[in-house]
């Protein structure tokens, strides 16, 4: 697929609430893409009104009609991909429908609410060869990409242990939101919502995956049907061990996610609270602090497209999210791109959560994690 002019983006969901707005800003950040078509609300009439209010070129009643009608338009007018920002239970049908109509997909996490649906998406992507990005936002940070470079380059030696964390406190008391409703959120609350982000740090930065897990999922709030706290211990594919901790009842914590990768010769540490720095610890040496900025030569050329400003000019969350749309755009334009989280990473997140749910039911027993291959999607070799 090669595109002349701006990339044309469709959006399903996100017409109200939280995460549609950050995606819209991320899509247009570099002025290389436009908001072309939207089916932005669950209610069809609201969907049409919201698309008009948000200046989408074309509004639709629902995602299915958006895909069906866009697919009949000339190639240089129809959307190139759909951004799926609906609550979890509709990711699968919408993403599958987009692929079936010939559109790429940038899909929110958790990819689906069960592994069978995730595997069906993997099969569709492999059959159609369409680009698919799983929106694990934090892997879009340049410092997280630099951490991957350093681990794969052997800068900390063989990985022995990984610690990842994602505490929040906003569900410490009862709230009537879809994230605590299993019919919409899926079978895990905290685990699916943010434990998947913490797990993806392991896959993205180290290239390793969990082969077995032991987990404890807790619902601290009375009558809550889903976990609001999630603790897992995993064995990784190289024999290393990992702890994955997520919580929505940790009062005081907001989005303090991060990781520590502990290797044979050093430790790398990154935190969302200080996301423009990456720290490297080596025995007997001063901590080495890498800072964000296009002029720093420790960023290899292949990472430069993911940085936008010289040092001292803060970049942040929107830029990280924009980097996922940038990867989608690079694929559509046939340009080089770095390793991004693809459909396999989305599916691996669900395989991990399903194993954790089973382990929890069995009192923390060690449970094998269904293997999802971890291809290197990078076109830089
Ligand atoms: N990657 C991240 O960092 C991140 C952050 C926040 C949310 N998310 C994910 O984004 C998704 C949306 O979360 P949110 O907090 O924005 O939810 P939200 O409830 O705030 O907003 C959802 C929007 O989608 C619309 N919608 C619902 N069903 C729809 C359907 N079938 N078709 C079209 N529109 C529909 C709703 O009307 C609403 O406008 C979730 O899957 C969530 O896990 C990811």
CB 132 within 8 Å of CB 343: yes
Given the structure tokens 């699916």, which residue do they identify?
192
- The verdict on 150 and 82 lying in the same domain is no
317 within some domain: no
Of ligand 1's listed atoms, the one at least distance from the Cα of 39 is 33
Note the pLDDT of residue 208. 97
Distance (Å, rounded) from C-alpha 239 to C-alpha 208? 10
d(CA 296, CA 313): 13
**Counting every residue, how long is the chain?**
381
Report CA(125)–ligand 1 centroid distance (Å). Answer: 22
Strand order in the sheet with 132-134: 58-59, 33-39, 7-13, 81-85, 104-107, 132-134
Considering 101, 130, 159, which residue would you say is the last residue of a domain? 130
The answer on 194 and 59 residing in a single domain is no
Question: What atom in ligand 1 is closest to the CA of residue 177?
Answer: 19
Q: For the whole model, what pTM was predicted?
A: 0.98
Same domain, 79 and 176: no
Please identify, by atom number, the ligand 1 atom nearest to the C-alpha of residue 13: 34
Q: Based on the domain organization, do 158 and 280 belong to the same domain?
A: yes
**Domain at 179, CATH number:** 3.30.360.10
- In this structure, the answer to whether residues 124 and 189 fall within a common structural domain is no
Structural domain ending residue among the three candidates 76, 103, 130: 130
Residue 19: per-residue pLDDT: 98
Query: Which uninterrupted H or E stretch holds 117?
Result: helix 115-128
**C-alpha–C-alpha distance, residues 350 and 369, integer Å:** 10
Whether 89 contacts 184, CB under 8 Å? yes
One domain, residues 99 and 153: no
Please identify, among 95, 130, 165, the residue that sits at the C-terminal boundary of a domain.
130
CB neighbour burial string for 263-299, b if at least 16 within 10 angstroms, e if fewer: beebbbbbbbeebbebbbeeeeeeeeebebbbeeeeb
80 shares its domain with 178 = no
The stretches in the chain having pLDDT less than 50 are: none
- State which residues form the domain around 217: 143-309+344-352+364-368
Classify residue 319: in a domain, yes or no.
no
CB contact at 8 A, 356 and 213? yes
Q: Does residue 304 share a domain with residue 169? A: yes
In this structure, the residue with its CA closest to atom 7 of ligand 1 is: 19
Strand locations in 151-209 (E) = 159-167
Name the DSSP class of 224: -
Rounded distance between C-alpha atoms, residue 218 and residue 232, angstroms = 11
The first and second tokens of residue 121, run together, are 């998406």
Question: Are 163 and 189 contained in the same domain?
Answer: yes
51-71: pLDDT as tens digits:
999 999 999 999 999 999 999
- In a domain? residue 321: no
Whether residue 192 is found in the same domain as residue 253? yes
Q: Cβ of 96: how many Cβ atoms within 10 Å?
A: 17
C-alpha–C-alpha distance, residues 76 and 60, integer Å: 19
Q: How big is the chain by its Cα radius of gyration, in Å?
A: 20
Residue 136 inside a domain? The answer is no
Q: Which residues line ligand 1 (CB under 6 A)?
A: 12-20, 39-42, 62-63, 85-88, 90, 108-109, 135, 137, 178, 193
Instruction: Report yes or no on 40 lying in a domain.
Output: yes
Structural domain includes residue 375: no
Q: Is residue 69 part of a domain?
A: yes
Is residue 55 located within the same domain as residue 187? no
Domain count, the chain: 2
Both 66 and 117 in one domain: the answer is: yes
137 neighbors 164 (Cβ within 8 angstroms): no
Q: Which domain CATH number covers 14?
A: 3.40.50.720
What tens digit of pLDDT does each residue of 191-244 get?
A: 999 999 999 999 999 999 999 999 999 999 999 999 999 999 999 999 999 999
Kindly report the protein residue whose alpha carbon is nearest to atom 18 of ligand 1: 17
Question: What phi and psi values does residue 153 have, to the nearest 5 degrees?
Answer: -80, -5
Q: What is the pLDDT of residue 374?
A: 84
| Residue 182: inside a domain | yes
CA angle 126, 129, 134 (to 5 degrees): 75
> Which pLDDT score is estimated for 1?
57
């Amino acid at each position: 697929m090669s595109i002349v002019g701006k990339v044309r983006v469709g959006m399903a969901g996100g017409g109200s609430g939280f995460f549609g707005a950050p995606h819209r800003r991320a899509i247009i950040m570099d002025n290389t893409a436009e908001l072309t078509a939207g089916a932005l609300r669950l209610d069809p009439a609201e969907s049409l009104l919201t698309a008009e209010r948000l200046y989408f070129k074309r509004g639709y009643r629902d995602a299915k009609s958006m895909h069906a009608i866009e697919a009949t338009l000339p190639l240089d007018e129809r959307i190139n991909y759909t951004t799926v920002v609906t609550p979890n239970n509709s990711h699968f049908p919408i993403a599958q429908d987009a692929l079936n109509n010939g559109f790429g997909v940038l899909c929110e996490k958790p990819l689906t609410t069960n592994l069978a649906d995730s595997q069906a998406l993997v099969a569709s992507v492999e059959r159609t060869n369409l680009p698919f990005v799983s929106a694990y936002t934090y892997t879009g940070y340049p410092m997280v990409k630099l951490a991957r470079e350093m681990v794969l380059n052997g800068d900390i030696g063989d990985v022995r242990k990984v610690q990842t964390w994602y505490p929040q406190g906003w569900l410490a008391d009862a709230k009537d939101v879809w994230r605590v409703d299993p019919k919409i959120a899926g079978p895990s609350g905290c685990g699916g919502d943010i434990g998947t982000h913490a797990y993806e740090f392991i896959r993205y930065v180290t290239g390793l995956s969990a082969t077995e897990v032991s987990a404890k999922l807790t619902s601290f709030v009375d009558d809550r049907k889903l976990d609001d706290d999630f603790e897992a211990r995993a064995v990784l594919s190289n024999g290393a061990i990992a702890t994955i901790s997520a919580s929505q009842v940790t009062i005081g914590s907001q989005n303090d996610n991060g990781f520590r990768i502990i290797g044979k010769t050093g430790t790398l540490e990154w935190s969302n609270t200080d996301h423009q720095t990456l720290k490297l610890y080596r025995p007997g040496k001063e901590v080495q602090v890498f800072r964000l900025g296009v002029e720093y030569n420790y960023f290899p050329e292949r990472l430069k497209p993911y940085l936008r400003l010289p040092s001292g000019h803060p970049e942040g969350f929107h830029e990280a999210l924009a980097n996922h749309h940038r990867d989608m755009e690079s694929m559509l334009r046939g340009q080089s791109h770095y390793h991004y989280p693809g459909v396999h990473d989305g599916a691996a997140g669900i395989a991990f959560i399903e194993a954790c749910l089973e382990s929890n039911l069995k009192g923390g027993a060690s449970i094998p994690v269904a293997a999802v291959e971890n291809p290197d999607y990078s076109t830089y070799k």
